[in-house]
Amino acid sequence: MDWDQFDLNPKTIAALKKADIKSVKEVLNLSGADLQRLMKLSSADIQCLLKTVSHTLRRNSMLTALQLYQDKDHFTSQHQKLSLGCSVLDNLLKGGIPLVGITELAGESSAGKTQISLQLCLCVQYPYKYGGLESGAVYICTEDVFPSKRLQQLIDQQHKLRADVPAEIIQKIRFGNSIFVEQAADLDTFQQCITRRLSLLLARGMVRLVVIDSIAALFRCEFGAAQSALKARYLQTFGAQLHSLSTRYRTPIMCINQVWQQTVSYSTGTGSRVTPALGITWSNQLLMRLMVSRVSLPGHSPGAAAHCAGSVRTLSVIFAPHLPPSFCYYTVQLEGVKGIK
């Protein structure tokens, strides 16, 4: 750390070097009393040091809520979101997936989580004007093999799903080239993937979406009941790393999660309920939680019977700082996931 760059008096700089203090973090981690002792300076000098390093770290960091609201820049604006490729689904989410933070998509098997994720990997490649981020995606598989055939089907049918986008634009996008598939079946490989591969792709601006399919699979076998503290540590560490990458590169992280049956006690008794796996430690890492489920409707809602070969599904908002709990119906077609009004 080059202390000479800071606006400090020479006495303080000399004391810092002599005490072998190497970073702003170290300075802030020490208490005022410890700093006085280590650097042999007066309390006033230490206060001055703390203020100066804090200023340097936090230069120009204030915004008013009005500035946030009025920011229309593609990269920084909160209004910019990642579209799901369907106006009904986007309306449910008031625009789409927020760019900063971890969004979870939980649900039973074959409820449509992978379908939605694949669709997002294509949506992200469209121009900003059409709800995309003009960049690629990383798809991290932790248990199943990547569904390349289905991806190809979706690519071939993009013109049908995205009737709102001119055909010339769709034709120009090399969808397959910008989706990077990674396999990570255990915790260590996953850790490596995040810290090395993911950081690299993000730093180079090649991707602006990360899909993890699924986060639950990483923790299924390896942890018994007695190791819940260790499991919690892993979850917090991963959560923090993903969160940090997401913030730094303004890139949404979509984590797919499984669900389990949980006994819940209400004031009126106990019951069993389907809840996302991994507990409160994981849900504390999330910005937004969505759930999908298959619904077997005895009498289909109008219009649904007309185009679905399979059943109708629901996409629900479980929590989000900017959305009320709500849901909508959708089906999975050849060309992709489409909401039903």
Q: Which residues contact other proteins by CB under 8 A?
A: 24-25, 28-29, 31, 50-51, 53-55, 57-58, 61-66, 68-69, 78-79, 94, 98, 100-101, 228, 233, 236-237, 239-240, 243-244, 246-248, 266-268, 279-281, 284, 287, 321-322, 324
In the complex, the smallest distance separating the C-beta of residue 147 from other proteins, rounded to whole angstroms, is 31
How does 182-214 read in b/e, with b if 16+ C-beta sit within 10 Å?
bebeebeebbebbeeebbebbeeeebbbbbbbb
Q: With helix as H, strand as E and coil as C, how does 71-128 read? A: CCCCCCCCCCEECCCCHHHHHHCCCCEECCCEEEEEECCCCCHHHHHHHHHHHCCCCH
In the complex, the smallest distance separating the C-beta of residue 28 from other proteins, rounded to whole angstroms, is 5
In the complex, the smallest distance separating the C-beta of residue 148 from other proteins, rounded to whole angstroms, is 33
Say how far apart CA 293 and CA 286 lie, in whole Å.
Answer: 20
In the complex, the smallest distance separating the C-beta of residue 296 from other proteins, rounded to whole angstroms, is 23
Torsion 280-285-286-291 (CA) sign: negative
In the complex, the smallest distance separating the C-beta of residue 298 from other proteins, rounded to whole angstroms, is 25
Q: Which is nearer to other proteins, 254 or 308 (CB)?
A: 254
Residues 281/232, Cβ–Cβ less than 8 Å = yes
What are phi and psi for residue 300, nearest 5 degrees?
-60, 150
In the three-class reduction of DSSP (H, G, I as helix; E, B as strand; rest coil), residue 310 is classed as coil
Contacts of residue 271, Cβ cutoff 8 Å, sequence gap at least 6? 263, 264
In the complex, the smallest distance separating the C-beta of residue 328 from other proteins, rounded to whole angstroms, is 17
